[in-house]
Structure 1
Amino acid sequence: MTLLLAAACQPAHLGDWRNLIAVIWDFLSLSLFSLGGGNTLLAEYHYMAVDKYCWLSSQQFAEIYAIAEGAPGPSSMIVGLLGMGAAFEEGPLWALFSGVMAELAILLPSTLLMVIAALSWNRFKTSPFRLAFERAMGPITLGVLFAVGLKILRISDHDTPAYAVSAVVCFLMLRTKISPLWFMAVAAGLGAFGLVNR
């Protein structure tokens, strides 16, 4: 069944303005749900890029995610890379335009909302609503981030050594104060020597 769906999936071409507007609208509407940062929407980004619009395979999505996380800047940078990857067949300038539009669509609404909230948040300093809201958002955000971590494991780890490396890194991250940069360096070395394949 999965093979039939994959065969039937045709990429949406962003050279068609209607498709580009639909994609921008999708990112605009997702922007207000990015509680805890851009990574909280990763499952939805994967659904859009791989299943809904068929721009990328799961492996390509995992590679774009790795580039976005490895580069300096916000985690929502993956959206610009997805926009570029989606429109790359239309040419490099159109891909750049698509990437910029996707990034603006994901950042603009949530940024405006946060500016408004920051300007008015102090007015509710003593409100029980503010305290309850702040206490509730912590567990919700952690839960969403945990679900995102599981999603990344499912789309990027495809062999036993890769799952083992992920489990060891997760354990060490929770139990030690070792910098994540060391884990990234070790994983890169394992991949470079072909000891871990995706």
Structure 2
Amino acid sequence: MSAEEEPLGQLAREFALLGIIAFGGVNTILPEMQRQAVEAHGWMSNTQFTQLFAIAQAAPGPNFMIVTLVGWQVAGILGALTATLALIVPTFALAYAVAGAWRRFSQARWRKALQAGFIPLTVGLVAAGAFVLSTSTLATWQQGLAMASTFLLVMFTRIHPLIPLAVAGVLGYLGVV
């Protein structure tokens, strides 16, 4: 077996590449992370991936905890360390290398245009992540209705997001969804 075929090598390669394109945080790379973990490598099911994401979001700490949990699922403690470091180290090195030029050219036209372009890119990547996570585990029309209702309530009213979350929890507990 080559290093490329071993899970630790695969984790290192995939998360190093993902880290470099994670504009706006880890949520922007969720669709590709899910595709690699579920479809490309078969490390876990859609449901397992979504559950890991839910745990990462519910737990206190950094937003990239999903990376550590995926690594843990794949190869235990070494997988967790490999995935986390593979995401952080190249990203940090790139950010460090670019930071000086980014500051030096703060008034440059090209920088302002590039920065303006990152906004819709980031929003689109986050939306794609939300779509992948929300549709990959829907099993019933009731779940779809709960998801759509929550989205509409949070987007178009001033209702606090914890209210639909609590309602969904109660409906899940009662077996309605």
TM over 0.5: yes
Inter-CA distance 108–190: structure 2 relative to 1 (3 Å threshold): farther
Separation in structure 2 between the aligned mates of residue 179 and residue 115 of structure 1, nearest angstrom = 38
> SS at 2:150's partner residue?
helix
Answering whether residue 13 of structure 2 is matched by residue 25 of structure 1, we say: yes
Q: Which residue of 1 aligns with 2:113?
A: 132
TM superposition shift of 1:17: 8.3
Q: Which residue of 2 aligns with 1:163?
A: 144
Separation in structure 1 between the aligned mates of residue 160 and residue 173 of structure 2, nearest angstrom = 21
- Selected match of 1:80 from 34, 55, 68: 68
* Deviation string, structure 1 residues 60-95 (Cα, Å, up to 9, x no partner): 1111111111112233211111111112xxxxxxx1
Separation in structure 2 between the aligned mates of residue 27 and residue 64 of structure 1, nearest angstrom = 16
Separation in structure 1 between the aligned mates of residue 81 and residue 34 of structure 2, nearest angstrom = 19
Separation in structure 1 between the aligned mates of residue 5 and residue 145 of structure 2, nearest angstrom = 45
Which amino acid is the alignment partner of residue 147 of structure 2? S
Separation in structure 1 between the aligned mates of residue 92 and residue 58 of structure 2, nearest angstrom = 23
Separation in structure 1 between the aligned mates of residue 21 and residue 162 of structure 2, nearest angstrom = 29
Answering whether residue 168 of structure 2 is matched by residue 192 of structure 1, we say: no
* Deviation string, structure 1 residues 130-179 (Cα, Å, up to 9, x no partner): 11011111111111111111111211221111111111111122112333
Q: Structure 1 length normalisation: TM-score? A: 0.80
Separation in structure 2 between the aligned mates of residue 58 and residue 143 of structure 1, nearest angstrom = 21
Inter-CA distance 172–18: structure 2 relative to 1 (3 Å threshold): same
Separation in structure 1 between the aligned mates of residue 165 and residue 81 of structure 2, nearest angstrom = 28
- Divergent runs of 4+, >6 A: none
Q: Which residue of 2 aligns with 1:65?
A: 53
Separation in structure 2 between the aligned mates of residue 25 and residue 147 of structure 1, nearest angstrom = 22
- Selected match of 2:85 from 104, 107, 111: 104
Separation in structure 1 between the aligned mates of residue 38 and residue 164 of structure 2, nearest angstrom = 28
Q: Provide the alpha-carbon RMSD of the alignment.
A: 2.1
Structure 2: unaligned runs, 5 residues or longer? none
Aligned length: 175
> SS at 1:109's partner residue?
helix
Q: Which residue of 2 aligns with 1:92?
A: none
Q: Structure 2 length normalisation: TM-score? A: 0.88
Separation in structure 1 between the aligned mates of residue 112 and residue 161 of structure 2, nearest angstrom = 32
Separation in structure 2 between the aligned mates of residue 104 and residue 178 of structure 1, nearest angstrom = 39
Higher RCO (C-alpha under 8 Å, 6+ residues apart): 2
Q: Which residue of 1 aligns with 2:32?
A: 44
Percent identity over the alignment is: 32
Which amino acid is the alignment partner of residue 131 of structure 2? L
Separation in structure 1 between the aligned mates of residue 25 and residue 114 of structure 2, nearest angstrom = 17
- Say which is worse superposed, 57-66 or 172-181, in terms of deviation: 172-181
